[in-house]
Amino acid sequence: MVEDSAVTTHTDSLPPMLDAARANSRRVESRDPATGEVWREYDSASPSDVARAVAAARRAQPGWAATPVRERATVLERFRRALYARRAEVAELICRENGKPPSEAMGTEVMLVLDFARFYRRRAPRLLRPRSLTPGNAAFWRKRVHITHEPFGVIGIISPWNYPFMLASAQVLAALVSGNAVVLKPSEFTPGTGVMIGELMRQAGLPDDVLHIIAGDGSAGAALIAGDVDKIFFTGSNATGLKVSRACAERMIACVLELGGSDPAIVLEDADIVNAVSGIAWGRFSNAGQTCVAPKRVFVVDGAYDAFVARLGETVAALQMGAGSSPDTDVGPVIRPQQRALLESQLDDALANGARIAARTPAGAGHTSGDGFFPPAVLTGVTSEMRVMREETFGPLLPVVRVRDADEAVRMANATQYGLSASVWGRDVRRARAVAARIESGSVSINDSIIQAGIAEAPHGGIKQSGSGRSHGEAGLLECVQTKTVIVDLVPRLREPWWFGYGPEQARGLDAFVRMWHGTSIAERAGGVWRSIKMLVRHERPL
């Protein structure tokens, strides 16, 4: 999903014990992707720094867990209000570190985090409250089942640079309201955004040491995973995700992984072409194409193909490229020059093997010259052997494939190691839902794209090589707790009929109960009633 040379934050937000003034520490640079300008530097946490942060979080966690969930939710509400008051400042920071345009920083980052804070503030007290139930089997008539949700303890979060505020905050908010302490390691490409999360939480009155932000590259992430944490949330590439999974397995701790995707978009013959082009173009090229759930392979049914490609070409040609700080920018820079180099190599591979550029955004007015800009491109004539169809293309490069019908589209959509998300476009929503049901992915949008990762109530995650576990929604909240069951016997003086003391009478009684409870006729069930009652109220002491 993202380049994993990057996961970090700002030592200004670390507790004093981490000594942010280490003179010989390697520095982490925050750069403006449009210009390459280094506008701030951060000390990179060492493994011992990470260990101290985790230890401080562990000391603080019991007190935070003992705080009633409604009071923890109140901290989230204060966070939401603080973010709302500082929304312009936060959006400006995101634009500078990530390069996305102001509308995207506000609409796909700040607004969504406000939604997540409100959702978890409202939902957590109800979802996490203890509940009791009576078993459905009459043999357990004396039992009461009490279910509670307990925090893991200390959760480590390694977050990406492509949506540095939204993706990190959504997991932090869920983990905190569940009673966990958190050590967050944001990307080394967007450290200031991670620091901002810590500042807003302090402003909201979160107790000291419940949240730590650590700066560093992959070595700091490795130290966090190897440290005394109880669960890891990781968002990044498949290669790194596999290493994270193995490291967590060696320690027997749980992890949630949101990894790469090569999400298909299927355009049916009855699709509204104007709407489909507009939605797919926005989903693919917004955030400079650096979106995990973006449409990365488009399969258009033959009857709609020519009109779709023609309209898409017009749309792409009209896009404006520029620095993220400009309000007129549609598509900003990719995060780093090496990301552009990777996209160029994928494009070159496609062209060398027969693909054609059907449309491309002009690199003219508004386009800041520099290695961070990759003009959006549409490819036709692609085949399944090309890298753009096999690999994740994390940037504004979009292959469009003509298919005979929906069946062929589904087969090609599923012919991938990935299974993060997808979209289906068609006026007949019932038919579109039937197509969506056949796609192998964690989520599917119908007549929209990438929205699935931004709805607070919707679980987000993938299948196959796109990861495991879920973030967001109730499922994301439940990923942050361990379910505990306590079963109480209300009549402890009675022995259980299945305890030792086996014999013919006990066997007949158990068979009678099975006939009474599961018999296939009224007579069969009635015939077992008396012996069943006698068995269930036996007073003999157990062996």
Given 95, 255, 292, 480, the catalytic residue:
292
pLDDT over threshold 90, residue 327: no
Return all residues near 398 (Cβ < 8 A) that are at least 6 apart. Answer: 280, 284, 285, 289, 295, 296, 298, 376, 377, 378, 379
Given 3, 97, 109, 258, the catalytic residue:
258
Average pLDDT in the chain? 92
pLDDT single digits (tens) 269-279: 999 999 999 99
How much is the pLDDT for 22? 40
Examine the residue annotation and report whether 292 is marked as an active-site residue of this protein: yes
pLDDT band at 9 (very low <50, low <70, confident <90, very high): very low
By DSSP bridging, strand 397-403 and strand 297-301 are parallel
How much is the pLDDT for 19? 37
Q: How far apart are CA 116 and CA 119, in angstroms?
A: 5
How much is the pLDDT for 534? 85
Q: What percent of the chain is predicted at pLDDT more than 90? A: 84
Buried-exposed string 161-176: b where 16+ CB fall within 10 A, e elsewhere: bbbbbbbbbbbbbbbb
pLDDT band at 487 (very low <50, low <70, confident <90, very high): very high
Any idea which of 362-366, 448-452, 470-474, 520-524 has the lowest mean pLDDT? 362-366
Q: How far apart are CA 331 and CA 323, in angstroms?
A: 8
pLDDT single digits (tens) 502-536: 889 889 999 999 999 999 999 999 999 999 988 88
Are the beta carbons of 467 and 420 closer than 8 angstroms? yes
Any idea which of 202-211, 285-294, 315-324 has the lowest mean pLDDT? 315-324
Predicted structure pTM score = 0.92
Q: What percent of the chain is predicted at pLDDT more than 70? A: 93
Q: How many helices (H) and strands (E) does the chain have?
A: 19, 18
How much is the pLDDT for 364? 64
pLDDT over threshold 90, residue 371: no
Collapsing DSSP to helix, strand or coil, 219 comes out as helix
Examine the residue annotation and report whether 457 is marked as an active-site residue of this protein: no
What is the mean pLDDT of the segment spanning 313-338?
92
How much is the pLDDT for 136? 95
> Which tokens is 361 given?
């955004």
How much is the pLDDT for 126? 97
- List, edge to edge, every strand of the sheet that includes 131-133: 131-133, 143-151, 481-489
pLDDT over threshold 60, residue 415: yes
pLDDT band at 363 (very low <50, low <70, confident <90, very high): confident
More confident residue, 26 or 193: 193
Q: How far apart are CA 285 and CA 468, in angstroms?
A: 26
> Which tokens is 410 given?
């589904």
What is the mean pLDDT of the segment spanning 200-212?
98
pLDDT over threshold 90, residue 159: yes
pLDDT over threshold 90, residue 543: no
pLDDT single digits (tens) 68-96: 999 999 999 999 999 999 999 999 999 99
What is the mean pLDDT of the segment spanning 305-326?
94
pLDDT over threshold 70, residue 1: no
